Amino acid sequence: MGTPSSHADQTELAICAAFPTDLTMLLHAAAGRMTDDLDLAAVQMGLNDVRDWLVLAALDDGRQRTQLELSRVVCVDKTTLISVLDRLEKHELIVRSVDPSDRRVRIPAITPTGRKVYAKFAIARDMAEACALDGVDQSGRALLMDLLARIAHRQDASLSGV
């Protein structure tokens, strides 16, 4: 699926070179940079892109979820999720089983193989993130995460009238 070697979204990476002071572009650039590294690591262990390990991460907690619930959790369109699950199932990293109490729904579950692959990826991910924050002290990291979470979860921008 796609060309894993290229950026997930090419607008993100190099913007910063031109406009280093803009918050939004910096966020995109930083996110794109991290994703590039993570996609690379994912490809090295047979996953395709960010969605693959996102789904595995969600399934790794063992909770039973329908595909629709899963698509909401990882915020991937339910249509797109199908192709992701198809691929993961083909590689035997997950299985889809029919819920006996509701034959409409499919319950995707991670396999031992999938768990192993995800664990391996998680190590690479943690390494990449540690590397990205190398030299930043603990309070700085906490502040960064807090600010990012605040921006991400902020409810409304209320910039209606301009």
Partner DNA sequence: CTCGGATCGTCCGAGTCCAGACGATCCGAG
Partner DNA sequence: CTCGGATCGTCTGGACTCGGACGATCCGAG
Longest Cα–Cα distance of the chain, Å, equals 56
From the list a copy of itself, DNA, none, pick the one residue 3 interacts with, judged by a Cβ distance below 5 to 8 Å according to partner type.
Answer: DNA
From the list a copy of itself, DNA, none, pick the one residue 33 interacts with, judged by a Cβ distance below 5 to 8 Å according to partner type.
Answer: a copy of itself
Binding part of the chain for a copy of itself, among 15-23, 88-96, 98-106, 107-115 by CB under 8 A, reads 15-23
**With respect to a copy of itself, which residue has the nearer C-beta, 63 or 98?**
63
3 is a contact residue toward a copy of itself (CB under 8 A): no
- Selected from 1, 119, 142, 151, the binder of a copy of itself by CB under 8 A is 151
| Count of positions on this chain that bind DNA (CB under 7 A) | 26
- Selected from 50, 82, 105, 109, the binder of a copy of itself by CB under 8 A is 50
56 is a contact residue toward DNA (CB under 7 A): no
**With respect to DNA, which residue has the nearer C-beta, 85 or 117?**
85
φ, ψ at 105 (rounded to 5°): -95, 150
85 is a contact residue toward DNA (CB under 7 A): yes
Q: Which residues, 97 to 116, sit near DNA by CB under 7 A?
A: 101-106
Distance, first Cα to last Cα, the chain: 41
Q: Which residues, 84 to 123, sit near a copy of itself by CB under 8 A?
A: 120, 123
Calculate the dihedral angle through the C-alpha atoms of 78, 80, 81, 86, rounding to the nearest 10 degrees: 130
